[in-house]
Amino acid sequence: MSKKLAMPHSRHRHKHESHQPHHHPAQPKPTRKATPIVTFLAAIFGLVVAAMASESDWLWMIIGAIVGAVAGYLIGKNIDSAADKK
C-alpha cells in the first residue's frame, strides 16, 4: 500500500503582484491668501506708529491698530485679486 504524496502544484499558486506606484492626479497646492498676513502686519505697524506718535496713549494705540488692520485688509485683498488674475 503505497500512498502517493500530494505534490504542490505551483501553477495553482497565486503569483506575487509587483508593486506599482499609485498614480494620483496632480492636485494644485492650496495657495495661501495674503489678506490675513498683511492685515496682521499692518495692524502691528499701526499700533507701533500710534504708540510713538501719541506717547503710548492706549486709545490712540487701539485706533492706530484698527486703522492699520483695515488698511492691511484692503491691501491684502488687492494682492489676492492681482494674484488670481495671473
Q: Which residues of 13-49 are buried (b: 16+ CB within 10 A; e: fewer)?
A: eeeeeeeeeeeeeeeeeeeeebbeebbeebbebbbeb
pTM of the model: 0.63
Alpha carbons within 13 A on the beta-carbon side of 85: 6
Give pLDDT, residue 56: 86
Query: In the block, which residue shows the cell 507701533?
Result: 48
pLDDT along the chain (86 residues), means of 10: 66 68 72 90 96 93 96 95 84
